Amino acid sequence: MSNRSSLIPQLLRSGDAELAAEEASAALREMFGLDIAGVVFTQDEYSLNSVSGRARLKDATTYFFKFHQEEGEQENVSEYYRARLLSEAGLPVEVPLATSTRPGAQMVLYRVHDEPRMADLCAALERSAGAAAALAPPLLAARQALDARIGEVALRTLGPPTPASASAAVHQLFHNRLIGSQGEFRGGRYARYYLSSPVFAEVATKKWRINGVEYRSSLAELAETASRLLAPAALARLPVVTAHGDDHQGNIWVSDGAHGPELVLFDPAFAASDIPALLAPVKATFHNALAHPFWLYHPAEAAERSVIEVTVGSGTVEVNDDAIMSRLRHQVLDSVAHNVWAPLLRQMHERSMLPANWRAIVRSALFCCPMLVTNLVDEARPASVRSLALARAVAAGSEPIEGTDAVSCFLDQVAP
């Protein structure tokens, strides 16, 4: 199965969907004993490190399947799909029908869903209304209700540091993508994506001026800082919580409830009861709010929709753009700030659990979100959007020299 799980995404990238479907069918038979009649893959830009689709059985039953596969990273993943843990903690999460947690062969089966994901609804709103896009009151209330439950669970489960948190799977999303097989910095995805790129080499050590705001740190400095501050051993000295850890809106179903829409989490590949508290809300915060919907997942569309001006000088990169956060993303950011971050940081402060450098830790994790989820300097991305994406990574990770921006305002808002 582990060979197939590596082969399937390679086949899909090369355009051989038929052979990929045969391999996926064989994997499903092997792992779950299913009598597969056919497989259809999901074209999903939000699941950059997984393969998903629908498997139809010979008796006409259909399942939704998903398996996690990250090239070169299988050995770093220790445990997946902790849905029951989240459910027992009080979070609305779909419990899969069957799972495989074998390293290199993490696969899960769900019932088939016809309802949309939150990411799909938000993308449609932002495509139609641009920066004026906003969540309708019932959907905003559902978003706020989910954040309130996430925040309540975090507060209730906030506990003292534990050495076990150094092995939490959530580190796969951050530190493990910066290091190599021997634990050395400048390894993993960071090395594969950037260190052989002439585009990255040209700007890696330069300082940035973004929409008139100058930033303290270069991309190379931010990566090095993240490798230190996000090291699992360092974070194991900080308190832990129970959380999903990867609850971006591509992992949220929007269901019809008795009193309006209800949001349900799924695919808890990195969930645990020992997630470092300062990491737990980061992925959702960046991808649901701070990431403009097009430059990360739809770079060609971003180039068409946005005006981006880039000047590369001897020591500075200057980027000016009109790719502003939509009203919708401000609504989501306000919700997670009010319901999750502010009460969590306040409780940590009151219990003398909040490190003095908490802001730098959060910024390092925010920086990793765009830099390490996909290759921002890939040749297929338009040049202007490559610069825009790197600029957003800098703004996430670096404090401004003077002036302010969306990330700085957010951190000021949630500071205890």
**CA neighbor of 105 nearest in space, from 7, 175, 247:** 7
Give per-residue burial for 328-366: e unless 16+ CB within 10 Å, then b. bbbbbbbbbbbbbbbbbbebbeeeebbbeebbbbbbbbb
Which residues of the chain carry a pLDDT beneath 50? 1-2, 72-79
Question: How far, CA to CA in Å, does 182 sit from each of 177, 196, 206, 227, 257?
Answer: 13, 20, 29, 14, 49
How do strand 207-210 and strand 105-111 relate by DSSP bridges?
Answer: unpaired
State which amino acid sits at residue 294: F
pLDDT digits (tens, 9 = 90+) for 131-164: 999 999 999 999 999 999 999 999 999 999 999 9
Structure tokens given for 370: 């765009």
pLDDT of residue 77: 40
Q: What is the pLDDT, as a whole number, of residue 9?
A: 77
> Residue 114 has what pLDDT?
85
What pLDDT was estimated at residue 42? 80
Domains detected in the chain: 2-111 (3.30.200.20), 118-414 (no CATH)
pLDDT at position 79 is 43
C-beta of residue 337 within 8 angstroms of C-beta of residue 408: no
252-305 residue pLDDT tens: 999 998 889 999 998 888 999 999 999 999 999 999 999 977 999 999 999 999
Give the chain's length.
416
